[in-house]
Structure 1
Amino acid sequence: YHRSATARDRDKLREFVLRGLGWEIVRIWSTDWWVDAVGTAEKVHQRLNEILAESRAKQAVIDAAQEAERLKIDAAVAKVIEVVDQVSVVVAEETVPVANDLEGALPELKYAKAATVSVAEEVVAFAPVLNHPLYRETDPSQAVEGVDPDRFFDPSYTPTLEQMIAYVVSEEGPVLDTELARRIARAHGWVRTGSRIRDRVDQIARSRFRSHEEEQIGFFFWPAHLETDTSVVFRRAGDDDSTRGLAEICLPELSALAEEMALRGHEGETLVYAVAKEAGVSKLAHAGRLRIEKAIRQKREY
């Protein structure tokens, strides 16, 4: 049975899918179990303990990176609060003489303005730490009137689909082709997104928007306001329903996140886990790790 091609393919596919979901696979030979079940079970037990130790070591690295990131954010917040307090003090102390004696207090007024501008620049410098662009799933039916599933494949319905697709790409782009098709399908009341639906959406999207292909992932469609790959920034999930998988984030956007985490002092293994944490990944699988590492390498090539 196992020598048949279909059985081998199913066996490989099953392992591939499970590993992609974060599972570890330990294989044993049936003959080993038949000859020495106790010894074989002991070998499996030892291997499981090794995997457990490796998992705990990785989790310790993640916890350390998260704690370091939390301390950095706390320090940044404290700095912003301190700077804002300084602005309030400058305005309160230096502008009072102007109200009492406008003519004689002009030097103090100039000083107050200069100090306020200087402190304001510090606030702006720390603002990127706390202010991130957000990503939210969209409902393309909001962009049109009269969504009609019965006319989906009718040529006369193309303008309506163009508006819906343009809305999703503009709001969510760069967006993966399968996700774009899923948005359009759900807006028409379909739970499944068949190949005909995907082909229809892809044909319209490719005729209107810039796209790039990523191997084993698919095509990403770019909105008009992002003219180059380097102009994209990473977007955090705006709500619980808008969390994206790593495969749904294009490499340029993931690379932007890697650069952001590197600027915060992360490097090596901690950089990988910092990117995964910021991307909303609770458990980093092998495929996800490879994608993050590829994004890190790609950013360094820019």
Structure 2
Amino acid sequence: GGRRDNRVEAEFVARRVIHHFDTRPSRTLGVVALSQAQAAAIDQAVQEARRHRPDLDHCFTEDRLDGFFVKNLESVQGDERDVVIMSIGYGPDEHGNFGTHFGPINKGGGWRRLNVAVTRARLRMEVVASFRGSGLADSANESVQHLKRYLEYAENGHAVLAQDVTQADAEPESPFEESVLQVLRDWGYRVQPQVGVAGYRIDIGVRHPEFSGAYALGIECDGAMYHSSRTARDRDRLREEVLAGLGWRLHRIWGTDWYRGRAAAERRLREAVELAVGRGPVSGSTSKDPRTGPTAAAEDDKLGEVSGVRAASPLSGVLTAPDAPGPEDCTPPTAAAEHERVPVDTEPDRPWSSLYEACDMTVTSPYELHTSEARPALRNLMTRVIGVEGPVHEELLVQRAKEAWGVARAGSRIRDNVREVVRGLVRSGQVTGDGYFLNVAGREELHARVPGEGDTPRKAAHIAPVERQLALYELAAECPGMSRDELVRHAGEFFGWRRMGRDIRSFLDSDIDELHRRGRLREANGHITAVG
């Protein structure tokens, strides 16, 4: 009790290391432990075991690419071996009490470290633990939950994980999914939203028309921001490998593509469904003979022949990922799930959007910009700028005046002169003012404008609220069901802002609230849709 390592488990790992080189000396080997303390205990146990087997010393080389290693979870990235043994190390204490602290796994992004560890083996992965995955309670910590699922997968294989956990009354999670479901039903397919597989959720499962209870295809409906999120793609890697190992075929639909290019997206979906039906049901969705479950591994197991649990008191077992290839079968591990990545059009058909055009003029005037004598030329300039850039912020009018006169900075006298000229234009009826924004009188057409290639994006404060709100409304109409955060981030991308500062978020949140107040947007259960 109170130790930071698991000596019994370390000694068992050492025996597995000796057994490996005794039976598979041509295959490279590495050991990964969840903690540095457990790695040190394993290294010590291996050194002790080697004293009794000097004939195997030639197997323990220190070659960087192929040599034997014992490393902890945080230092194994970049290393690959034919066979990898992973030691959990943590487990019940001498009183049988079981904590849920797994060192680096519990930290933020722990699932990334686990993902690295379980993908280090080219041919075979062995997992040694002092408890079974089923003995680990469900955890609110996402990374600990991933560990639990992986242990269950390693111990039980596909048959257990492939069992669907589906509620008959499950509902789609967004209007986007509802739209896809309706299209599939209109085509005559039986569909099930929110199919539970191996502890994960597949947005839509398409039932195979000829095999009762079996699925032909899983469909993933990804919102507007998913395709640009590297974290989301990384997070899905382990998930997709598990689903692919269970035989699932997946077709991904991007929300932006579904609403911008509906006909093409539907065509691709129909082709994917028909192809999947032709291939037969996915292997993970059909019932299997329980006799084909995991089998006990013998002490003289051969590479690729182990598919179950090896009892080892007082350990719960040696868990070996099933279906690893044998020495004569050196094909790569199962490929990632079959996703069709539909590219989002970089120049979508958006009649409500246009490029922002800046008015570039040079004024030749004998009078300095701050003088009253300069006002006739300044009046002509302001009329032209507002005509091209309106609605335009007063600050940008000052900027254009500076540029036209070649002035480096604008003091109070220059600003006052620009304001006086603008007030005169408003009084004349040529220009209308709305707060700090000026526009051509009578102009009804409005576009949400984006920066051109290489142009500096306008500040959020320099974009008229009506223009920001137009973009938010139309983006919500393109991809119904986005969360508020997705909509804000999508608007940020639209206007060219690489970083979403607090000021930008404040402006866009206020705009969304205003659209709610006017009945233009509706938000329910965290999902936003455009009205009308």
- Which residue of structure 1 aligns with residue 484 of structure 2? 268
- Seen in structure 2, the aligned counterparts of structure 1 residues 188 and 81 have a Cα distance that, compared at 3 Å, is farther
- Seen in structure 2, the aligned counterparts of structure 1 residues 241 and 129 have a Cα distance that, compared at 3 Å, is closer
Does structure 1 conserve the Cα–Cα contact (< 8 Å) formed by 2:367 and 2:374?
Answer: no
TM-score (norm 2): 0.32
Does structure 1 conserve the Cα–Cα contact (< 8 Å) formed by 2:448 and 2:471?
Answer: yes
Q: Normalized per residue, which structure has more strand?
A: 2
Q: How does 1:1-302 map to 2 (within 5 A)?
A: 63-64=225-226, 66=228, 72-73=256-257, 76=260, 79=263, 128-129=349-350, 132-141=353-362, 147-148=364-365, 150-208=367-425, 209-213=431-435, 219-226=436-443, 232-264=446-478, 265=480, 266-302=482-518
Q: Secondary structure at the match of 2:438?
A: strand
Q: CA deviation at 1:81?
A: 11
- Seen in structure 2, the aligned counterparts of structure 1 residues 260 and 131 have a Cα distance that, compared at 3 Å, is closer
Q: CA deviation at 1:275?
A: 1.1
Query: In 2, distance between residues paired with 1:253 and 1:221?
Result: 13
Q: Spell out, residue by residue over 1:103-127, the C-alpha distance to the aligned partner (whole angstroms, 9 max, x if none).
A: xxxxxxxxxxxxxxxxxxxxxxxx8
Q: CA deviation at 1:74?
A: 8.0
Q: Secondary structure at the match of 2:367?
A: helix
Query: In 2, distance between residues paired with 1:251 and 1:280?
Result: 16
Q: Spell out, residue by residue over 1:62-103, the C-alpha distance to the aligned partner (whole angstroms, 9 max, x if none).
A: 8526479966248745847999xxxxxxxxxxxxxxxxxxxx
- Seen in structure 2, the aligned counterparts of structure 1 residues 296 and 278 have a Cα distance that, compared at 3 Å, is same
Letter of the structure 1 residue corresponding to residue 454 of structure 2: D
- Seen in structure 2, the aligned counterparts of structure 1 residues 184 and 236 have a Cα distance that, compared at 3 Å, is same
Does structure 1 conserve the Cα–Cα contact (< 8 Å) formed by 2:355 and 2:449?
Answer: yes
Does structure 2 conserve the Cα–Cα contact (< 8 Å) formed by 1:211 and 1:222?
Answer: yes
Query: In 1, distance between residues paired with 2:351 and 2:261?
Result: 8
- Seen in structure 2, the aligned counterparts of structure 1 residues 130 and 150 have a Cα distance that, compared at 3 Å, is closer
Q: CA deviation at 1:282?
A: 0.6
Q: CA deviation at 1:233?
A: 2.6
Does structure 1 conserve the Cα–Cα contact (< 8 Å) formed by 2:367 and 2:373?
Answer: no
Letter of the structure 2 residue corresponding to residue 170 of structure 1: G
Letter of the structure 1 residue corresponding to residue 434 of structure 2: H
- The runs of 4+ residues in structure 1 deviating greater than 6 Å are 67-70, 80-83
Gaps of 5+ in 1: 1-48, 51-60, 84-126, 214-218
Q: Normalized per residue, which structure has more helix?
A: 1
Query: In 2, distance between residues paired with 1:70 and 1:279?
Result: 21
Letter of the structure 2 residue corresponding to residue 287 of structure 1: D
Does structure 1 conserve the Cα–Cα contact (< 8 Å) formed by 2:224 and 2:256?
Answer: no
Does structure 2 conserve the Cα–Cα contact (< 8 Å) formed by 1:232 and 1:253?
Answer: yes
- Seen in structure 2, the aligned counterparts of structure 1 residues 180 and 282 have a Cα distance that, compared at 3 Å, is same
Taking only the aligned residue pairs, the percentage that are identical comes to 22
Q: CA deviation at 1:278?
A: 0.7
Q: CA deviation at 1:301?
A: 2.9
Query: In 2, distance between residues paired with 1:194 and 1:165?
Result: 18
- Seen in structure 2, the aligned counterparts of structure 1 residues 194 and 153 have a Cα distance that, compared at 3 Å, is closer
- Seen in structure 2, the aligned counterparts of structure 1 residues 75 and 295 have a Cα distance that, compared at 3 Å, is closer
Query: In 1, distance between residues paired with 2:372 and 2:264?
Result: 56
Query: In 2, distance between residues paired with 1:267 and 1:244?
Result: 25
Query: In 1, distance between residues paired with 2:254 and 2:411?
Result: 44
- Seen in structure 2, the aligned counterparts of structure 1 residues 80 and 63 have a Cα distance that, compared at 3 Å, is closer
Task: From the CA coordinates, give the structure whose radius of gyration is larger.
Answer: 2
TM-score (norm 1): 0.54
Q: CA RMSD of the aligned region, Å?
A: 3.4
Does structure 2 conserve the Cα–Cα contact (< 8 Å) formed by 1:174 and 1:221?
Answer: yes
Q: Secondary structure at the match of 1:140?
A: coil
Q: CA deviation at 1:225?
A: 4.1
Does structure 2 conserve the Cα–Cα contact (< 8 Å) formed by 1:149 and 1:188?
Answer: no
Letter of the structure 2 residue corresponding to residue 247 of structure 1: A
**Count of equivalent residues:** 190
Query: In 1, distance between residues paired with 2:439 and 2:265?
Result: 38
- Seen in structure 2, the aligned counterparts of structure 1 residues 62 and 82 have a Cα distance that, compared at 3 Å, is closer
Does structure 2 conserve the Cα–Cα contact (< 8 Å) formed by 1:137 and 1:241?
Answer: no
- Seen in structure 2, the aligned counterparts of structure 1 residues 198 and 223 have a Cα distance that, compared at 3 Å, is same
Q: CA deviation at 1:154?
A: 4.0
